[in-house]
Amino acid sequence: MTNKDSALLSWKNVKGNKLRTAITIIIMALGIFALILIITAIKAASNGLTSSFSTMGANSFGIRFKSRNLNFNGNNNTTKKTKRGLKEKKSNEGIPISYNEAREFKERYSFPGTKVGLTLRGPNNIVTNIGSKKTNPDVSISGGDENFLELNGYKIAYGRNFTPAEVNVGRNVCVIGSGIAQKLFPTNNAKAIDAIINVDHIPYRVIAVLEEKGSSAFLNTSRVIITTINNIRRQYAGQASSFAIGVMVKDLKLMDMASGEAIATFRPIRKLVVTDDDNFFIDKSDSVAQSLLKNLSFLEYGTIAIAFITLVGAAIGLMNIMLVAVNERTKEIGLTKALGATRKDIRAQFLFESVIISLLGAIVGIVSGVLIGNIVAILLKTGFVIPWLWVAIAVIVCTIVGLLAGLIPAIKASKLDPIVALRYE
| pLDDT given for residue 86 in this prediction | 47
Per-residue pLDDT reduced to its tens digit, 352-369: 888 888 888 889 989 998
pLDDT in tens, 16-31: 677 777 887 887 888 7
Local structure of 185: helix, strand or coil: coil
Average pLDDT rounded to a whole number, residues 1-17: 64
Which pLDDT score, from 0 to 100, does residue 340 have? 66
Say which DSSP state 246 is in: E
pLDDT in tens, 197-252: 999 999 999 999 998 864 433 345 678 999 999 999 998 876 667 788 999 888 87
Mean pLDDT confidence for 134-152: 89
Q: What's the predicted TM-score (pTM) here? A: 0.51
Helical spans, DSSP H, in 170-286: 178-184, 229-235, 255-269
| Amino acid 422: pLDDT | 57
- Which band of pLDDT confidence, cut at 50, 70 and 90, is reported for residue 72? very low
Give residue limits of the domains in the chain.
Answer: 3-53+291-423, 60-285
Q: Phi and psi of 203, rounded to 5°? A: -75, 135
Mind listing the pLDDT tens digit for each residue in 151-172?
887 889 999 999 999 999 999 9
Q: CA-CA distance, 123 to 301, in Å (whole number)?
A: 49
Concatenate the DSSP letters of all residues of 109-143 into one string.
---TTEEEEEEEE--SSB-EEETTEE--S-BEEEE
pLDDT confidence of residue 196: 95
* Cβ–Cβ under 8 Å, residues 145 and 231: no
Kindly report, residue by residue over 110-126, the tens digit of the pLDDT. Answer: 999 899 999 998 888 89
- Residue 160 to residue 350: CA distance in whole angstroms: 69
The residue type at 371: L
pLDDT of residue 288: 57
Question: What are the pLDDT digits (tens) for 381-425?
Answer: 777 888 888 889 888 988 888 888 877 777 777 776 666 555 555
Instruction: Tell me the pLDDT band of 127, cut-offs 50, 70 and 90.
Output: very high
pLDDT, position 420: 56
Give tens-digit pLDDT for 285-334: 656 566 666 777 777 777 778 778 877 887 787 787 777 777 666 666 66
> With DSSP H G I counted as helix, E B as strand and the rest as coil, what are the percentages for the chain, rounded to 5?
55, 15, 25
Q: Tell me whether residue 185 is exposed, middle or buried, using C-beta atoms within 10 angstroms of its C-beta: 0 to 12, 13 to 18, 19 or more.
A: buried
N- to C-terminal Cα separation, the chain = 26
247 strand-pairing partners: 61, 116
**pLDDT the model gives residue 66:** 73
| Distance, CA of 97 to CA of 244 (rounded, Å) | 7
C-alpha span between 305 and 397 (Å, rounded): 14
139-161 per-residue burial string, b: 16 or more CB within 10 A, e: under 16: bbbbbbbbbbbbbbbbeeebbeb
The residue that leads in pLDDT, 354 or 5, is 354
pLDDT of residue 328: 67
Per-residue pLDDT, 329? 67
Average pLDDT over all residues of the chain: 79
User: Quick check: 88 pLDDT over 50?
Assistant: no
Given this model, what pLDDT does residue 250 score? Answer: 85
